[in-house]
Amino acid sequence: MSDDRVALVTGASRGIGAAIAERFAADGWSLTISSRGREALERRAGELSELGARHVEVIPADMTDADAVADLAAGHAEAFGRCDALVINAGMGQKGAIAELPVRRFDRLYQVNVRAPYILLQSLLPTLRATAGSNGVAKVIAVASITGVYPEPELSAYGSTKAALISLCETFNLEESLNGVSATTIAPGYVDTDMSEWLKDQVPGAEMITVGDVATIAHSVTQLSRFAVLPNVILTRPGSNLHRA
């Protein structure tokens, strides 16, 4: 199936972002992929082209660097002039009780998980609006976390960044959805990636949500019309705890 749509995916070098980029590539989308290391991205670009992506731009950017994030948005807009899906996925975790977690770590989490998404939303808004036009659609998909909805001990900083991301996207919808641009946050429990490695002696990776599960939700969001706004999707794991990470 061929497609003339275009996405920007952050955190596309591995994990959830790589899976979302693969799903779009298989539909023939063009892509800008970003994360910190150029080498991993170049390898990924080759794989995405083989899967069916029409064109892949590689733009490395460290999400702690506000100027680099703005340059990423500008680079994408210059390369393609449109954005059908902005996938805000790059993120970092940090565990630590409020009694102990140093403020500099808290600040870094906010730079990557909240400030960078804000800069991307703001910088790409003209391109998203232009892509939606008067009767089309453009979607923002932001990967939050179940801890942004149901807090857990020792995840106050991380969970609060994800709660902020969900709130940011809700407000974005209030301001922009009548323009055909709307955001969906995906709030998964543990997903089998490098980020959840620390936990795998307690919860085996094979029992976690798969990156393919998250990619399926992201892909589905891109099938929605401008008249359907999907605010937040919570993905929990099987078991008797409804709010299970």
Draw the binding track, 40-59, toward ligand NAP (x: CB under 6 A; -: no contact).
Answer: x-------------------
Stretch that binds ligand NAP, among 61-69, 97-105, 149-157, 173-181 (CB under 6 A): 61-69
* Nearest-angstrom CA–CA distance, 209 and 158: 19
Q: Are 138 and 131 in contact (CB under 8 A)?
A: yes
Distance, in Å, from the CA atom of 211 to the CA atom of 155, rounded to the nearest integer, reads 22
Touching ligand NAP, residues 172-211 (CB under 6 A)? 188, 190-191, 193-196
140: contact with ligand NAP by CB under 6 A:
no
User: CB-side exposure of 210: number of CA atoms within 13 Å?
Assistant: 6
Q: How far from 57 is each of 6, 80, 233, CA to CA, in Å? A: 11, 9, 29
69 binds ligand NAP per the rule CB under 6 A: no
Cβ atoms of residues 224 and 138 within 8 Å: no
Judged by CB under 6 A, which of 22, 57, 62, 84 binds ligand NAP? 62
Q: Which of 14, 55, 105, 244 binds ligand NAP (CB under 6 A)?
A: 14
- Total H helices, total E strands in the chain: 7, 7
Among 9, 15, 25, 139, binds ligand NAP (CB under 6 A): 15
Contacts to ligand NAP by CB under 6 A: 11, 13-17, 35-37, 40, 62-64, 89-93, 112, 143, 145, 188, 190-191, 193-196
